[in-house]
């Protein structure tokens, strides 16, 4: 078995760093061989699936080769009765969804760019969408992983294990590691049934206090929306709340939410299918468009500051700009085109300073090359930075895997 290889080009660059070599294994065995070769030749290596999160993190401090996982795109195993599926890392979310849908099942990770985002990339970047409110993030759905270590040795951890690496919870370590610890080759997920129907309730033109009070009311009433998103519309918020399940259950929860909102004096309506599709398309545009895309995270109790101060600080430097808030999760996303590089740098710094002071963070997911040197993509390192560095040393002592990409320059 010989891994396909070719010279690197500008199309293979990771934040402007062009590799001299591109490796494209088509089997797991070839991936192991490629990693062993990279170890023997001391190559600094980055992994690329669909390329949807290459803007996340820092520019590699050095880059000799890129290993592309697109040919590792097979379904390995699917046990519908057990609600478990295993796929190779290069399989896209859209392709996996198509397979699962034949059995009326789905992977509840609705990350952006499903036609390009790969299983391995979504796990490595800890990507997610608004259904996280109900189903959790990748670490809640990943049961097991197969990987290749920096030294070219294959290992597995988690569900359906033949060989474990003692002392580490490998699935959780791989989530969000951004390719700095190992190459993911296969991932085993918990899957869920496809819903019979869904219903989206829209509450247009709210202020942040109304969003907060309504979300508190539905939690107190034990309603279980799968998604809740407030989209910026000028200085107001359009709140969409989505329920999924059997028709009777969805109708009941929609009705109860509308009754809660009526009592609070907040008008709303269940959208017809085209209107619901339009609302969620607006959300997707925030997550997928713009040369600047950032994620804001803060305690849900700071929702008022997020909506009244931090997001407007960023949006004021974008033309046009858009934002989406996940009110029950304490998360928000802003995107758009910068009016000026200098103004955007100042806006990001000001917003980040305020968010960090409130116990949150601002992470850059994509940014124009002109502002990258002036703004750290991660912000201040978290208290766990020493542990992160120790893990990097344990998994990649030569610092060859995506060096400099992770928090704190790891």
What is the domain-level CATH number for residue 295? 3.30.70
Mean pLDDT, residues 235-250: 96
Kindly indicate the confidence band of residue 168, based on its pLDDT and cuts at 50, 70 and 90: low
Inform me whether the pLDDT recorded for 90 exceeds 70.
Answer: yes
The total number of structural domains that make up the chain:
3
Do 363 and 293 sit in the same domain of this protein? yes
Q: For 98-107, 134-143, 166-175, 188-197, which range has the lowest pLDDT when averaged over its residues?
A: 166-175
Percentage of the chain exceeding pLDDT 90: 93
Mean pLDDT, residues 238-263: 97
- How many residues are recorded in the chain? 410
Domain final position from 193, 211, 239 = 193
Structural domain of residue 252, as residue ranges? 197-283
Q: Burial, 327: exposed, middle or buried (Cβ in 10 Å; 0-12, 13-18, 19+)?
A: buried
Inform me whether the pLDDT recorded for 166 exceeds 50.
Answer: no
Mean pLDDT of the chain: 94
Inform me whether the pLDDT recorded for 167 exceeds 60.
Answer: no
Inform me whether the pLDDT recorded for 235 exceeds 90.
Answer: no
Do 173 and 210 sit in the same domain of this protein? no
Mean pLDDT, residues 71-78: 97
Do 153 and 263 sit in the same domain of this protein? no
Do 370 and 308 sit in the same domain of this protein? yes
pTM for the full predicted model: 0.94
What is the domain-level CATH number for residue 96? 3.30.465.10
Do 240 and 132 sit in the same domain of this protein? no
Do 121 and 172 sit in the same domain of this protein? yes
Do 261 and 362 sit in the same domain of this protein? no
What pLDDT is stored for residue 161 in this prediction?
40
Domain final position from 283, 310, 340 = 283
What pLDDT is stored for residue 164 in this prediction?
46
Domain final position from 193, 210, 230 = 193
Do 98 and 139 sit in the same domain of this protein? yes
Do 143 and 168 sit in the same domain of this protein? yes
Kindly indicate the confidence band of residue 1, based on its pLDDT and cuts at 50, 70 and 90: low
Do 186 and 85 sit in the same domain of this protein? yes
Residue 267 lies in a domain: yes
Which SS3 state, helix, strand or coil, does residue 291 take?
Answer: coil
Mean pLDDT, residues 381-392: 94
Kindly indicate the confidence band of residue 385, based on its pLDDT and cuts at 50, 70 and 90: very high
Inform me whether the pLDDT recorded for 388 exceeds 80.
Answer: yes
Mean pLDDT, residues 163-191: 85
Residue 14 lies in a domain: no
Residue 3 lies in a domain: no
Do 153 and 82 sit in the same domain of this protein? yes
């Amino acid at each position: 078995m010989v891994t396909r290889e070719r010279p690197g080009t500008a199309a293979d660059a990771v934040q402007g760093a062009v590799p001299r070599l591109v490796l494209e294994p088509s089997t797991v065995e070839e991936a192991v061989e490629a990693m062993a070769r990279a170890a023997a030749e001391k190559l600094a290596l980055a992994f690329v699936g669909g390329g949807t999160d290459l803007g996340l993190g820092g520019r590699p401090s050095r880059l000799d080769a890129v290993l592309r996982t697109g040919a590792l795109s097979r379904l390995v195993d699917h046990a519908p009765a057990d609600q478990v599926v295993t796929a190779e890392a290069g399989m896209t979310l859209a392709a996996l969804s198509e397979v699962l849908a034949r059995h009326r099942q789905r992977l509840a990770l609705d990350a952006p760019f499903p036609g390009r985002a790969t299983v391995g990339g979504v796990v490595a970047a800890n990507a997610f969408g608004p259904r996280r409110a109900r189903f959790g993030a990748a670490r809640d759905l990943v049961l097991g992983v197969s990987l290749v270590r920096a030294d070219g040795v294959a290992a597995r951890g988690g569900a359906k294990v033949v060989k474990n690496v003692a002392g580490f919870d490998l699935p959780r370590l791989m989530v969000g590691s951004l390719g700095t610890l190992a190459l993911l080759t296969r991932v085993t997920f918990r899957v869920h049934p496809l819903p019979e129907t869904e219903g989206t309730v829209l509450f247009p033109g709210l202020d942040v206090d109304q969003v907060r009070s309504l979300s508190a009311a539905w939690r107190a009433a034990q309603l279980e929306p799968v998604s809740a998103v407030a989209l910026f519309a000028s200085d107001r918020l359009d709140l969409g709340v989505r329920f999924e399940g059997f028709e009777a259950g969805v109708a009941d929860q929609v009705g109860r939410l509308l009754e809660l909102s009526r009592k609070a004096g907040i008008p709303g309506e269940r959208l017809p299918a085209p209107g619901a599709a339009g609302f969620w398309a607006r959300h997707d545009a925030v997550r997928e468009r713009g040369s600047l895309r950032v994620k804001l995270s803060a305690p849900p109790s700071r929702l008022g500051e997020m909506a009244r101060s931090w997001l407007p600080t960023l949006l004021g430097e974008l033309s046009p700009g858009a934002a989406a808030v996940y009110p029950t999760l304490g998360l928000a996303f802003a995107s758009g085109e910068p009016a000026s590089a200098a103004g955007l740098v100042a806006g990001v710094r000001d917003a980040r300073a305020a968010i960090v002071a409130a116990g949150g963070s601002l992470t850059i997911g994509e940014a124009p090359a002109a502002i990258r040197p002036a703004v750290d993509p991660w912000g201040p390192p978290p208290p766990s930075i020493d542990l992160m560095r120790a893990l990097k040393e344990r998994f990649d002592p030569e610092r060859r895997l995506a060096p400099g990409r992770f928090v704190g320059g790891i």
